[in-house]
Amino acid sequence: MIIVTGASRGLGRSIAERLLQSGKKVLGLSRNKIDLPFESMACDISDYNAVKEIARNFRMEKRNLDGLINAAGIASMNLAVTTPPSMTEKLIQTNLTGTIYCCQLLAPLMIRNKKGSIINFSSIAVALGLKGESVYAASKAGVEGFSRSFAREMSDFNITVNCIAPGPIKTDLLKGVTDEQINDIIARQVIPKRFNPEDISDVCEFLLDSQSSSLSGQVLNVGGA
């Protein structure tokens, strides 16, 4: 079983559907319960007790967890000095704290079987230091730092922990971002293109597969920084 957060739409949904098509069992988590083509549950990942309940249900039902993909996230382009406190808190709580909660509470389900793969999501905004994304980049930089250290903590249990840091992807997350801003980011990438969700799903499948078992504690910049 693979848990995918943020599975109701965008990148998370695309990853979950791709894994389902490849024959994997998927549990999608999203803030609200909606009908999806795979098993799903409502869970606000920024709520510690909500994530704890997911872990508790797994134990009670004696289900095995093979992978965790923390794809839930939000973005906001704004100068740091004009970012409202409510948005700062929301970015940190969803992108960083939510990722930490999921790793803290769901990784033990893999520890008991001494195998698994955890994939967290950063952004190329960290490596490129993008103007107008200071708070967003800070939340994602925190994910990178956490993932590197958590990878060392999980290594004794044969669990890998890696980050994917994509460039611009064709999802709703880019709403409100002008074409000029997107093109500026793309121009600074090693591979100057806007990516499809399927491109990221390919990387996820690789990191979930045994052929990537020697890769951990890494940040993969899709697009190249």
Q: What are the residue numbers of the active site?
A: 136
Beta bridge partners of 166: 222
> Which residue bears the tokens 């806007």?
194
Residues 6+ apart with CB under 8 A from 51: 43, 45, 98, 101, 102, 105, 106
